[in-house]
Chain A
Amino acid sequence: MYQYNDFDKAFLAERNRQFRAQVERRIAGNLTEDEFKPLRLMNGLYLQLHAYMLRVAIPYGTLNSAQMDTLALLAEKWDKGYGHFTTRQNIQYNWPKLKDVPDMLDALGEVGMHAIQTSGNTIRNVTADHFAGAAADELEDPRPIAELIRQWSTDHPEFQFMGRKFKIAVSAGEADRAVLKAHDLAVRVVRNDAGETGYQVLVGGGLGRTPMVGKVLNEFLPREDLLPYIEATVSVWNQIGRRDNKYKARIKITVHETGLEEFRAKVEERFESVQPTFSGVDQELLSEIKAHFAPPAFRNAPVTEFENTYNSNPLFRSWVDTNLTEHRAPGYTIVTVSIKKHGQTPGDATAEQMRALAQIARDYGHDELRISHEQNVILPHVHKSDLPAVYAALREADLHTANIGLVSDIIACPGMDYCALATARSIPVAQQIATRFEELKLEHDIGHLQIKISGCINACGHHHVGHIGILGLDRAGVENYQITLGGDATWTAAIGERAGPGFAYDEIVPAIERLVKGYLELREGPEETFLEAYRRLGLAPFKAHLYPEAQANAA
């Protein structure tokens, strides 16, 4: 993975020094909050309901064991012993004190991490497929271009004070695991008919108040055109995007109002003037970056012990069947570690768990870890012969829950338990749904089902693209939950359809139970997933299960 060079280290140290001085001036009363707020946001520091919150970027979701150990250190030394992994491959600390934040940032700097541009109207943390570099279905590792985009966008003078934030995702897999179509801009590594590798660019996706599915802006860009093309795109939006209304400022609205054809023409025109300013230095940089992402030295070893354990230990077998994904190297596998134990807060890991994960990565995982937008931790390169030992170590840390892709593997934003923008809680709803389905012992029968919960319309919990989406709102001073059905976060992206009237806080979990049990009755067989059944049948039969009273009244 990418190692900071002297320039990067000096840049970060200087930036941290500046922020330390800004914090000091704020505490001394020499900066007002109005002056300080944009500065702290640029450095990932929010003020939430109960405390400050520091959002640290995990660029394209990749980190090594030393970095994970540092995340644990921050949790233990300056927070309450845990951190929250988010849907944008960041980690959030919910309880830092203002005066401690510069020390936290310095500690992060020691291991090449930062909180720059994790907030504010800038280009945010670049996200990627969490199986990048390991997946069997990918053309190449997409992280070198993610790192190139990160370096280009960090402190980019043209893009520090835009009309709104801008989110970029990259992927090279046949399957989309990075929710490409819900991003302002997405880059997909593709191959053309001539067999050349290049980039497909999507634009104008996004969730929030006005959810939209991203559209293809360019079918195939040669490698050297990628960065100038992205720069041209952001530049056009930055110039013509609306600044009169915060809710209409994102690029999805610009593309929608301008029309894709006209927007593309403007980008092409801008590209003509931007492209000559790229002297080729970005391509030199890219080849340097690529060297950092050389695959680890995969080994050959017999997998007999794995097979024996698989056949003799049913708990291990269930975990293997649920949490593993095919790796591109023979004998290897990708392990997804669930941090969604039933009843726990989705995405939260304690400092001890982070250290355990770091140790497992050192011992059995070529020192690599990933954070997924689904709020789990990935060990991307594990040899199958090590799986029994990995499983034992995960059990030790209470990280062995076998529920990846199942009903309890829920995405949930922090909601009104922490977030100042939230209109209702999401965490306890997620906890209760997971606990309920664990009691019912049904989730393995139910199969693949994604529930995604947001505590406000901004949709950090991706509810629009959940097979079942839950949106928490404030209805006349009471928490109320709206259900959407049929959303899809993959290449076949779809925005869920609203099922009907919302449910009160104490009604939402029983409603989800009725809905899922209804699906079990409606499906053609265990091989038909919830989403497939929904696509076959449409909303009506599911609605009958959600609103049995309405059905009874109509009869």
Chain B
Amino acid sequence: MPRAFTPKVITANALLEGDVIYFTAEDNWSRDLTDAELLIDEAHAQLRLVEASQQVSEVVGAYLADAVAGETGPEPTHFREEFRRTGPSNYFHGKQADAAN
């Protein structure tokens, strides 16, 4: 039996800066995971991924990542996506530093 679809967000890296970005329901890209569109229907998710991937002059390597609905928006379910939305653990660099500014 095929595995049941779990909710996803679309994420990628920005072409110019290389930093982690998320696809929103308004067809633009946010630096913040909580702004991402949470996709709960598989067919819709695939369609949105095609749309997101077409923005070739803005993004690189768009893919679907597991997420769950949290209080302020989507949250990651896997530690890799947790690191991507936070930054490295050895220095206070990346998104955690951007958020502090």
Contacts and interface: CB of A to CB of B under 8 A. Distances in A.
Given A27-B16, A33-B61, A478 B79 contact: yes
A100 to B, nearest CB: 10
Interface string B44-56: 0000000000001
Nearest to A428: B89
Interface in B37-66: 56-57, 60-61
Interface in A37-88: 47-52, 80
B13 interface: yes
Interface in A70-112: 80, 94-99
A27 B16 CA distance: 7
Contacts of A431: 90
Interface in B80-101: 80, 83-84, 87-91, 93-95
Interface in A20-36: 26-27, 29, 32-33
Contact of A29 (B20, B57, B79): B57
Contact of A50 (B16, B18, B77): B18
Contacts of A29: 56-57
B15 interface: yes
A132 interface: no
Contact of B60 (A33, A95, A97, A474): A33
A114 B89 CA distance: 29
B71 interface: no
Interface in A103-140: none
Interface string B1-29: 00000000000010111111000000000
A99 B78 CA distance: 31
Interface string A133-175: 0000000000000000000000000000000000000000000
A443 interface: no
B89 A417 contact: yes
A410 to B, nearest CB: 13
Contacts of A26: 15
Contact of B83 (A49, A80, A97, A99): A49
A47 B63 CA distance: 14
A50 B90 contact: no
B14 to A, nearest CB: 9
A98 B14 CA distance: 10
A355 interface: no
Interface residues of A, number: 31
Interface in A445-494: 474, 477-479
A16 interface: no
Contacts of B89: 417, 425, 427-428
A33 B90 contact: no
Contact of A477 (B16, B79, B93): B79
Given A33-B61, A478-B79, A50 B19 contact: yes
Contacts of B20: 49-50
A434 interface: no
A50 B95 contact: yes
Contact of B93 (A32, A47, A95): A95
A50 B16 CA distance: 12
Contacts of B57: 27, 29
Contacts of A401: none
B78 to A, nearest CB: 5
B16 A97 contact: yes
A47 B13 contact: yes
A96 B61 CA distance: 18
B16 A416 contact: no
Contacts of A96: 18
A151 to B, nearest CB: 32
Contacts of A478: 79
B56 A99 contact: no
Nearest to A32: B56
A98 B80 contact: no
A115 to B, nearest CB: 16
Contacts of B56: 29, 32-33
A220 interface: no
A345 interface: yes
Given A27-B15, A33-B56, A97-B18, A50 B87 contact: yes
Nearest to B82: A416
A263 interface: no
A418 interface: yes
Contacts of B88: 50, 94, 417-418, 427
Contact of A49 (B16, B78, B84): B84
B87 to A, nearest CB: 6
Contacts of B13: 47, 51
Q: Which of A51, A95, A97 is the most central at the interface, judged by chain B CB atoms within 10 Å of its CB? A: A51
B33 to A, nearest CB: 13
Contacts of B15: 26-27, 33, 98
The 10 closest A-B pairs by CB, nearest first: A417-B88, A52-B18, A29-B57, A51-B18, A50-B94, A427-B90, A345-B90, A428-B89, A33-B60, A98-B16
Given A47-B18, A51-B94, 14 more contacts: A27-B57, A33-B15, A33-B60, A49-B83, A50-B18, A50-B93, A345-B91, A348-B90, A416-B79, A416-B80, A428-B90, A431-B90, A477-B78, A477-B79
26 contacts: A27-B15, A32-B56, A47-B60, A47-B61, A49-B80, A49-B83, A50-B19, A50-B20, A50-B88, A50-B93, A51-B17, A96-B18, A97-B16, A97-B17, A98-B18, A99-B16, A345-B90, A345-B91, A416-B83, A417-B88, A417-B90, A418-B88, A425-B83, A427-B88, A474-B80, A478-B79
Interface of A: 26-27, 29, 32-33, 47-52, 80, 94-99, 345, 348, 416-418, 425, 427-428, 431, 474, 477-479
